[in-house]
Structure formats: structure tokens, C-alpha cells
A and B are shown apart, each in its own frame.
Chain A
């Protein structure tokens, strides 16, 4: 619409449009300034640091791609990345398995819907660090809730330390993350569900489509964009997971739950190798951008579909 107006309008109008564009730029200037100061400049500095041997204390010096060569041989980083991928897949599936039924449940108005929505969404407003501290206490074997409660109820004859071995510890974290994040995903999915026109569903019912067929042929395709948003948020959040593994597990049991960000933190602030930590961050950034692009491509709008 505006492009047509611009090409066919007389010179005076074009001048006005040009001025409007300048005013538009002025309006976005604060946002641009924020992005430059708090994203682009730090990003540039990180890239710059990653080319140096940069200890926390003492002199730093240029080593070219030395840090990146070292990453290739850093098996513990690749192990951490593999664990992060495993965690991301599991936790994303778990979140959707819980959030989708919840969204279907709270989508339609029915008695107490608002109460349910609020209840399910509530944990999402707790910070990850505070939620981790809370669960760290719940999971404690001597003074927590789960293990002592099961013991006192006579369900187990010896207190079981949930955090001592990999499987229970890992699934405890998954439970905690689902508890905290599913409500937020539910709200996104609910908004997507509500944007599907009711008459489409009714037409399908008249045509004799069962509930499963309607879900597969109408709900899912029309929620493509909503699903893409929820998926990218969940995957990006999981790849950057750190707080819960740091606070509840300290990367244990036996360093089996070290995530990529945890490893970056360790290299930077335990071993004091800031330059190496910066290089690891750049690698993780590339991985994250690549994954997001793949997801956008997979969930792109098929040609010919409105």
C-alpha cells in the first residue's frame, strides 16, 4: 500500500514520506541504541576476547585461533554439549506433553477456567534460581519433602537420596523444569488454539470428522506458527540451561550433568580462562543460531497455503 502511494505520488508527497521515514528512525533510535550498547558491542568484545589468551589476572595476549583449536580437543566440552542436546530433547518433549493437554483443557470457557489458568501459569513467574533453591530443599534426602515423606508414610524402608545417581537426579530436574515452564508454554499454545476460527471445526464436524482427525487436519496445521514460537523458546532456553544444574546438582552426580553453559562458566570463573570461555560462547552462539534457523525452516509456511 505505501509503496504504491510512494511511486505514484507527486514530488511533494514524496518529500513528506521521506520526512516520515526519518521520524520513524528517530522513534526506533532508543531501541537501536539499546541493542547496540547491550548486544552488539558486548558481542564484538566477546569475539575479540576469544582471539586472546585472556586470564582473569595478569597480561593478555593475542593468540589468533588458538582457543578454537583447543576447543576441538576439549572432550569435556563436547560431552557437555552432548548432554545439553540430550536434555533439550527430553525436556522439550516433556514440556509439550504436559503443556498441550493443559492448553486444550483451559482453552474453552468453563467453570473456574481463570482459576486453572492462573494456577498452571503461577510457577512461570518464579525465577529459575529461586525455583532451583526451592526444589533443592524439596529433594534433600535428610531435611526435604519427597524422600522423608515417602519414608514416614512407609512407602520405602530406607531414605532414598534422589540426587545421588544420574537417572533419579536427571528426572528430578526434568520434573522441576516442566513444573516451572509448562504453564508459560500452555499460555502460548492456548493463544494459538483460540485463534483458530470456530466455523472450521464446525464444518468438519458436519463433514463427519472425528476429534482426532480434526486435531490432525485442522488444529495442528493452523497452529504451525504458534508451535514454532513455543518450540524455539523451549529449545533456546534448554540449550542455555545452567541455574538448575548449578544450584541443585553442582553438575553432579559425578559431573554427569554439566551443560554447555556450565562448562563455559567453569572455564571462565573457576579456571579463570576468560578468553577460552569467550571462544566457547561464540561456538555455542553459532550452534544456537543454526538450530533456530533449522526450526524456522522446518516449520515454514508450505507454499500455496494461506
Chain B
């Protein structure tokens, strides 16, 4: 009987008919294209085992925010969406999200959910977003090229001097082989992979609550010097200067780059699409020692006033189960529940363990104007990284970015 109802509900969902059955409800959920690998699988698994159903739409990364805003204004917003976690504060500040504090705190495993996600999901002591998918930044190196260059292929660089030295040795192989790669005109890529170098050395670019820009630090300047010196020695392909992120992953995957900062997503992508590349994964190191990571990924948020709250909660609870976390891990996201992360990852590539460890200690800057400050292709952060890595006036670029960032923060709507 239960099976029959489920089938009926499925049929109703498939036909998109407004009739439905009284017993089952269908919630609409959106995800950005980054989640197009794992999200359909987890939705399928949920739909198979539950009376209630979830209907999934996948939206291109760059369009999900304007599209959601337009849909919300027109009253056709999805019941919930998996949202790039850095947007959670600004969405919450706009009064667009349902307050889920009580429900979140009633979850028995609440304390073991990814702390960086929960921090960005919290606005003025209320919780509006909970972790859904996760990605940590790591350093990857090409073992084959390391071997050719006479380096130990099993040992990745553990501080900045080693990064520069190893990149130079690999670069010396010549031909089209280059030592190092980064996307030099991509704000999002560099907040993900460059700031951990600063954090690991004890600096930061924003104050804890996001109210002050703190760019001008010896740690930032040190990390800039590392990149500049590699650019100057020609260890980096010329295209890096204008790469807005299109080659963030592709450059390393082509097999002629020695070292590249990247993300946990690269492990799954390399294993499935480029099985010939033999690579190692390590932490993004500090100047002399230590390491850090950017905790990225998606928060799950609920549109204010939705009538499908029970379905959404049931779905999220399923995603947090061992079954759900295992599906996530298998298809390209790190687990977001610390207490069962090891179980979810146990049958997978051991390199994920490094990424999971990085995730657990990962950090995320908190700001209601993150997009304006960091991700925008024309924002102060993107402009600064391009100028300081390739330009002539490092001091001017830092001072200019510091001033612009602070003025954007100060002009943000205060509520």
C-alpha cells in the first residue's frame, strides 16, 4: 500500500500535475551546477525511499542568485536551495530565509556539523542555513613530473620555500612543462586557495565579524612575494595572468603542471576524468610550517514562508544519514558531518582523508557583501590579486584594495 502511494506520488511528480495525493507532498529544490554530480543521486535515493518527494532543478553557477531573486520577487521561489555558503549572511540579512534555529539545535548531531558552514549560516544569533556539501582547498602535485625532476614523488611541499624550490625543479624539465599554476584573474579561486597561505601563517584579510578589511599584513605580503617570485622566474604559464577561473582545474589536469593549489573536488574529477594523472594531495602550508584551508561548499537554506517545511526537513535529515553522506562523498563532495565522516569515506580514495581533515579545520570569511568584495570579477580583491602578482606597484594595489573594501563594507545596508 505504502509502495502504491509512493508510486502514485512519483507519477504525480513526473506528470507535474497539480492533483497529487493528500499523503505526499513535493518540495522544489535548486542547486548550482557545481552540485550537478551528487545532488541528483541523493535526490533519487531520497525519492525512492520516501512518500514525500523532492523535485530538483540545476541552475548555472553564475545565474542562481539573480534567478532566485527574481523568482522570490515573483512568488515562485523554490522551497529550499543549496546555496554557496558565503551568500548565506546576505540572504539572511535580506529577510529572505526561514529561521530554522530550533529545528537545527534539536538535531542530535548538530554539534558535529561542519563548524565553518554553521558559522556562515548564522546571522544575528539565528540559524538560517545548515551545511549541505563541502569542499576544502588543498595543494596537489604531479608525482610523475616530480619523479622526472629528481624529487621525491611521495613528498609534497610543506612550506613556502619548498613550493618555490620544487616548482623550479619541475620547471627545469623544459618544453611545455611549467612548475606552478594559479588562476591569476579569479577572485573566487584565490580566496579559496591563496588566503589559506595567509591564514596558515597567522594573518587574515577580514576581521572576525567582517566589519574591517585587514589586508595590509606581513603575511599577505609574504604570500604575494612567493607568487611574484615564481611569476618572475617564469615558472607559471603566461595564460595565468588573464585566467578568470576557466583553467582553474583544467591546467593541472592537462598533466604538464608540477604544483597547483586546488580543491577536494579535484580528487573526484581527476580520478574519473583523468585516470592517467598520478598526483598527491597535501595541505596548503604556512610560510614555515602549519597549514590551513578554505571551507567552501553549500549551505542548505529554506525560503521564508514555504509550506513544505516538513518535506525539506525530512530530506535534509536523510542527507545527514550515513547513507546520504556516503552518496555525497562518492560523487564529489566531502561529508559535512564530522562524527561519521570517516565511515562515509572508508571505501574511497585515501586522499579524501587529507581533504576531510582540511575541511574540519577549514575557515570561511564572514561578510554580508562577500560577492562585492571578493567574487565579483571587478571587485577590489580580484583587482588586487592581479596587480600584486603581475603588476609593478604592490604597495599601491594593496592600499587601494584596502580602501575600496572598507568603503564597500561601510556602505553595506545596516539592519
Contact residues of B between 371 and 414, Cβ < 8 Å to A: 371-372, 376-379, 383, 386-387, 390-391, 413
Cα–Cα distance between A160 and B244 once the two chains are bound (Å): 18
Which residues of the other chain, A, contact B372 by a CB distance below 8 angstroms? 270-271
Binds A, one of B91-99, B283-291, B329-337: B91-99
Q: Are A56 and B66 interface neighbours, CB within 8 A? A: yes
Q: Are A254 and B391 interface neighbours, CB within 8 A? A: yes
Query: Number of contacting residues on A, CB 8 A?
Result: 28
Chain B, Cβ-Cβ closest to A159: B238
Which residues of the other chain, A, contact B242 by a CB distance below 8 angstroms? 141, 161, 163-164, 252-253
Q: Are B241 and A164 interface neighbours, CB within 8 A? A: yes
Cα–Cα distance between A253 and B389 once the two chains are bound (Å): 13
Chain A, Cβ-Cβ closest to B378: A251
Q: Are A58 and B95 interface neighbours, CB within 8 A? A: yes
Give the secondary structure class of A's interface.
loop
Query: Contacts A56-B66, A270-B371 known; A252 to B239 CB distance under 8 Å?
Result: no
Cα–Cα distance between A269 and B244 once the two chains are bound (Å): 18
B171 at the binding interface (Cβ < 8 Å): no
Contact residues of A between 269 and 302, Cβ < 8 Å to B: 269-272
A255 at the binding interface (Cβ < 8 Å): yes
Contact with B along A54-69 (1 / 0, CB 8 A): 0111110000000000
A142 at the binding interface (Cβ < 8 Å): yes
Cα–Cα distance between A143 and B256 once the two chains are bound (Å): 14
Which residues of the other chain, A, contact B72 by a CB distance below 8 angstroms? 57
B237 at the binding interface (Cβ < 8 Å): yes
Q: Are A250 and B378 interface neighbours, CB within 8 A? A: yes
Query: Number of contacting residues on B, CB 8 A?
Result: 31
A140 at the binding interface (Cβ < 8 Å): yes
A266 at the binding interface (Cβ < 8 Å): yes
Query: Contacts A142-B238, A250-B185, A250-B244 known; A272 to B387 CB distance under 8 Å?
Result: no
Contact with B along A211-239 (1 / 0, CB 8 A): 00000000000000000000000000000
Q: Are B238 and A271 interface neighbours, CB within 8 A? A: no
B69 at the binding interface (Cβ < 8 Å): yes
A178 at the binding interface (Cβ < 8 Å): no
Q: Are B69 and A252 interface neighbours, CB within 8 A? A: no
Q: Are A272 and B376 interface neighbours, CB within 8 A? A: no
Which residues of the other chain, B, contact A255 by a CB distance below 8 angstroms? 378, 383
Cα–Cα distance between A151 and B386 once the two chains are bound (Å): 25
Q: Are B66 and A164 interface neighbours, CB within 8 A? A: no
Contact residues of B between 89 and 148, Cβ < 8 Å to A: 91, 94-96
Cα–Cα distance between A262 and B378 once the two chains are bound (Å): 10
A258 at the binding interface (Cβ < 8 Å): yes
Q: Find B91's partner among A57, A140, A251, A271 (CB 8 Å cutoff).
A: A57
Q: Are A254 and B371 interface neighbours, CB within 8 A? A: no
Within the complex, the shortest CB–CB distance from B64 to chain A, in Å, comes to 12
Contact residues of A between 151 and 169, Cβ < 8 Å to B: 158-161, 163-164
Query: Contacts A251-B377, A270-B371 known; A57 to B238 CB distance under 8 Å?
Result: no
Cα–Cα distance between A251 and B379 once the two chains are bound (Å): 10
Q: Are B94 and A142 interface neighbours, CB within 8 A? A: no
Which residues of the other chain, A, contact B413 by a CB distance below 8 angstroms? 55
Contact with A along B37-81 (1 / 0, CB 8 A): 000000000000000000000000000011011101100000000
Cα–Cα distance between A57 and B413 once the two chains are bound (Å): 13
Chain B, Cβ-Cβ closest to A257: B378
Q: Find B94's partner among A57, A160, A251, A262 (CB 8 Å cutoff).
A: A57
Which residues of the other chain, A, contact B391 by a CB distance below 8 angstroms? 254
Cα–Cα distance between A271 and B376 once the two chains are bound (Å): 9
Within the complex, the shortest CB–CB distance from A45 to chain B, in Å, comes to 13
Q: Are A55 and B237 interface neighbours, CB within 8 A? A: no
Query: Contacts A55-B94, A271-B371 known; A161 to B376 CB distance under 8 Å?
Result: no
Cα–Cα distance between A254 and B393 once the two chains are bound (Å): 12
Query: Contacts A57-B96, A58-B94, A161-B241 known; A250 to B390 CB distance under 8 Å?
Result: no
Chain B, Cβ-Cβ closest to A160: B238
Chain B, Cβ-Cβ closest to A258: B378
Which residues of the other chain, B, contact A270 by a CB distance below 8 angstroms? 371-372, 376, 378-379
Within the complex, the shortest CB–CB distance from A173 to chain B, in Å, comes to 14
Within the complex, the shortest CB–CB distance from B83 to chain A, in Å, comes to 12
Cα–Cα distance between A254 and B95 once the two chains are bound (Å): 34
Contact with A along B364-375 (1 / 0, CB 8 A): 000001011000
Cα–Cα distance between A3 and B69 once the two chains are bound (Å): 55
Within the complex, the shortest CB–CB distance from A258 to chain B, in Å, comes to 6
Which residues of the other chain, A, contact B377 by a CB distance below 8 angstroms? 250-252
Cα–Cα distance between A158 and B386 once the two chains are bound (Å): 21
| Chain A contact residues, CB within 8 Å of chain B | 55-59, 140-143, 158-161, 163-164, 250-255, 258, 262, 266, 269-272
- Kindly list the 9 A-B residue pairs having the minimum CB-CB distance in the complex, ordered from nearest: A56-B69, A58-B94, A142-B239, A57-B94, A250-B377, A57-B96, A164-B241, A251-B378, A163-B242
| Chain B contact residues, CB within 8 Å of chain A | 65-66, 68-70, 72-73, 91, 94-96, 185, 237-239, 241-242, 244, 369, 371-372, 376-379, 383, 386-387, 390-391, 413
Q: Give 16 A-B contacts (CB < 8 Å), ordered by A residue.
A: A56-B73, A57-B91, A57-B95, A141-B239, A141-B242, A158-B238, A164-B242, A250-B377, A250-B378, A251-B377, A254-B386, A269-B66, A270-B371, A270-B372, A271-B369, A272-B66
Q: A164-B390, A255-B378 are in contact. List 11 more A-B contacts (CB 8 A).
A: A55-B413, A56-B73, A57-B69, A57-B94, A164-B238, A250-B377, A253-B386, A254-B391, A255-B383, A262-B378, A266-B378
